[in-house]
Amino acid sequence: VGKQPLEWYGSGDGNLSGKVDSTDASLVENGVSNKMLDVNGDGLTNSEDTKTILDYVSGKIPYLPGHWNELKTKEERTNWAMKMNLITNQPSRAATPGWVCATNILDMCFRNGGLSNMDEFIQLEKDQGMQNVHSSEHNAWTNIPLYYFSTTNTNGVSHAIAGILVGDDPLKFDDWLFFNYHNFNSIKPGDFDMDANHPVTMGLEAYYENPLTKENNFNLIGNIIKFDLTNGVPSQGISSKPYLTLNNPNIIKVHLGKLEKLLVDNNGLPENQNYTPECLESKGYNAIPDTSKENTALPIKLEHIDGDTTIFSDNHYKF
């Protein structure tokens, strides 16, 4: 998204050298203060950050609190997400009249996980004559994947809120942390921002081709995951767009629905080849990818094409 590898809040890489080492601790001791060096996420850069960085460099702790992709527990992710919400949850531009919540939640998506086509997005805003456009400086500020959710408030008005997956299962409602731009507390069913009897659906701002006009543009893809609420009790999530994959930094990436889109990262296999189970096994890989606590336990059904025959798997593939 146009950033250096560790150019995000709490990474510990204060000089953007691409690694965290004792030099970064020395920067704090010498009075240098920037977003990367606040590794405790308290909004300050002080001796506590120096100690935490040195503990990480020496191996006393396996990762820093802000190393999102390495955090192991729901509690760790929730704690860091709430700290970042407190620090970064400030509107950065004027809201579109009538769509205050939507404008600010999209801002939060950009400031947290970021948008890879941010420069094009900013240019589009300029071309449309917007007076207050986004800034690439705020893109991917925290390295936390934050998503746009649509719901209804207790006044019966359509509403936008933010959601971060702090657990392991995106189809489990309680594994999500929901909050809004105007407060720093998490949102629960029955709160003003989330009526207890309306669905909660996940969306994603994306740059894609309009199937009618054939033009590329930025639009919100809605209903990626849907939770129904009945008297505040959530249903199991429904993935209504199974062709979209969920980003996961671990080993296996699967394009839901077609096994020939299977990509095996960092294991010496080139991308975009037709990997049937037999092909994977011939290369020494298990055709049924193993799951771990770190991987997203989302059951999927895969298919692959062998000649003129489409073969469907059992429902035991996970990634």
| CA nearest to 107, candidates 151, 152, 69, 137 | 137
Residue entry with tokens 């029955």 = 190
Residue 301 is predicted with a pLDDT of 45
Residue 274 is predicted with a pLDDT of 52
pTM: 0.72
Q: What do you get for the CA distance between the two ends of the chain, in Å?
A: 25
| CA 56 – CA 229 distance, rounded (Å) | 42
Residue 241 is predicted with a pLDDT of 65
From first to last of its 319 residues, the chain has per-residue pLDDT tens of 667 889 999 999 999 999 999 999 999 999 999 999 999 999 999 999 999 999 999 999 999 999 998 999 999 999 999 999 888 766 544 445 456 788 888 888 888 888 877 888 888 888 888 777 777 888 888 989 999 999 999 999 999 999 999 998 888 999 999 998 877 789 999 999 999 999 999 988 777 776 677 777 777 788 889 999 999 999 988 886 655 544 433 333 333 333 434 444 434 444 445 555 566 566 555 544 433 333 444 444 444 444 554 444 444 333 3
| CA 118 – CA 195 distance, rounded (Å) | 33
Residue 280 is predicted with a pLDDT of 58
Q: Name the amino acid, one letter, at 206.
A: A
The neighbouring-strand residues paired with 162 are: 148, 179
Task: Assign 230 to helix, strand or coil.
Answer: strand
| CA nearest to 20, candidates 48, 62, 81, 69 | 62
Number of residues assigned to the chain: 319
| CA 243 – CA 289 distance, rounded (Å) | 19
| CA nearest to 301, candidates 214, 243, 217 | 243
Residues of the chain with CATH 1.10.1330.10: 1-70
Contacts by residues 202-210 (CB-CB < 8 Å, ≥ 24 positions apart): 202/147, 202/148, 202/149, 202/163, 202/226, 203/147, 203/148, 203/149, 203/150, 204/147, 204/148, 204/244, 205/106, 205/109, 205/110, 205/115, 205/148, 207/115, 207/117, 207/120, 207/121
SS3 track for 126-137: HHCCCCCCCCHH
Q: DSSP labels for 94-139?
A: PPPTT-HHHHHHHHHHHHHT--TTHHHHHHHHHHTT-SS---GGGT
Per the CB < 8 A criterion, the answer to whether 232 and 190 are in contact is yes
Residue 242 is predicted with a pLDDT of 56
The domain 1-70 is classified under which CATH number: 1.10.10.350, 1.10.1330.10, 1.20.1050.140, 3.30.420.10? Answer: 1.10.1330.10
Residue 259 is predicted with a pLDDT of 40
| CA nearest to 134, candidates 173, 88, 103, 97 | 103
pLDDT tens for 119-148 read: 888 888 888 887 777 778 888 889 899 999
